Amino acid sequence: MTDRQIEANEADNIRIRLVELSDGDDVLNFLRKHFYPEEPLCSSSQKPPHPEDEAFNISLIAHGTCLMAVQQQIVNGIRRERIVGVLLSGPKHSDEAEHLFKEAARLRPTDFGKAIGILAHAERDSNVFERYNVERALHIYAGAVDGSFRGRAISIILKEKLKELGRQLGYSLLTTDCTSFYSAKVSERMGMDCVNVIKYADYLDEEGKVVFNMPLPHEYLKTYALRL
């Protein structure tokens, strides 16, 4: 994060803060507008988003590990906040892959179940707990930026702040699954290690058919990790 990026966000009157439980409805509405339609794995498989998916994402707020970028505004003399970016994260443990495979089986053959299925394979194959010799990790589950605020490094700033928060909370590893070409680029810019790659065209169902037909440039689901 450069001084120029910091200055730009100060000029836009944008600050980063923890997501509070009282923000739940606003965050959910933000995700419905800026996350689910944009993330390839979600937009290709969940129309509308599965209720359990939404419920899980909002449940992450209770962990105190979710951040939001807000722009301070004065409307009719009243100070208000406009959400311009959200980053939802929470703890995961060494039994995460087993849990995801069970959830995928329970939700089969729904589109949500298919999405969990590929994430289960990514979790198993990345093997971050043995790879980094840790018992738990802070995992980024969802992130989005208001389209009108892109190009201002908000996503990177949110993740840099999350790194600081993770260290404060005693986490030694940060992980994320990038279903999008663009989110993967952000993780690479942050210096995260790419620990697993699944090519969508090679991910087949039991009948040998491609499960996710993604539009370009989204060709891979990439898993990243970073020691904190």
CB 83 within 8 A of CB 34: no
Give 134's pLDDT tier (boundaries 50, 70, 90).
very high
- Looking up tokens 């997501």 gives 19
Compute the mean pLDDT over every residue in the chain, rounded to the nearest whole number: 91
- How much is the average pLDDT of 104-118? 93
CB-facing half-sphere around the CA of 40: CA atoms within 13 A? 22
Lowest mean pLDDT among 45-59, 108-122, 147-161: 45-59
Taking the C-alpha atoms of residue 36 and residue 42, their distance in angstroms, rounded to an integer, is 5
Tell me the DSSP string of 163-196: HHHHHHTT--EEEEEE-SHHHHHHHHHTT-EEEE
Predicted TM-score of the model (pTM): 0.91
- How much is the average pLDDT of 200-224? 95
- How much is the average pLDDT of 15-30? 97
159 pLDDT exceeds 80?
A: yes
Neighbours of 215 (CB within 10 A): 9
Lowest mean pLDDT among 42-46, 51-55, 57-61, 196-200: 42-46
In the chain, what are the domain boundaries?
3-227
Taking the C-alpha atoms of residue 132 and residue 135, their distance in angstroms, rounded to an integer, is 9
Give 74's pLDDT tier (boundaries 50, 70, 90).
low
Neighbours of 84 (CB within 10 A): 23
Q: What is the pLDDT of residue 10?
A: 53
Q: What are phi and psi of 139, to 5 degrees?
A: -110, 130
Give 45's pLDDT tier (boundaries 50, 70, 90).
low
Give 42's pLDDT tier (boundaries 50, 70, 90).
confident
5 pLDDT exceeds 60?
A: no
Q: What is the pLDDT of residue 44?
A: 56
Q: Is 191 left (phi over 0), alpha (psi -120 to 50) or beta?
A: left
The CATH homologous superfamily for domain 3-227 is Gcn5-related N-acetyltransferase (GNAT) (3.40.630.30)
Q: What is the pLDDT of residue 43?
A: 61
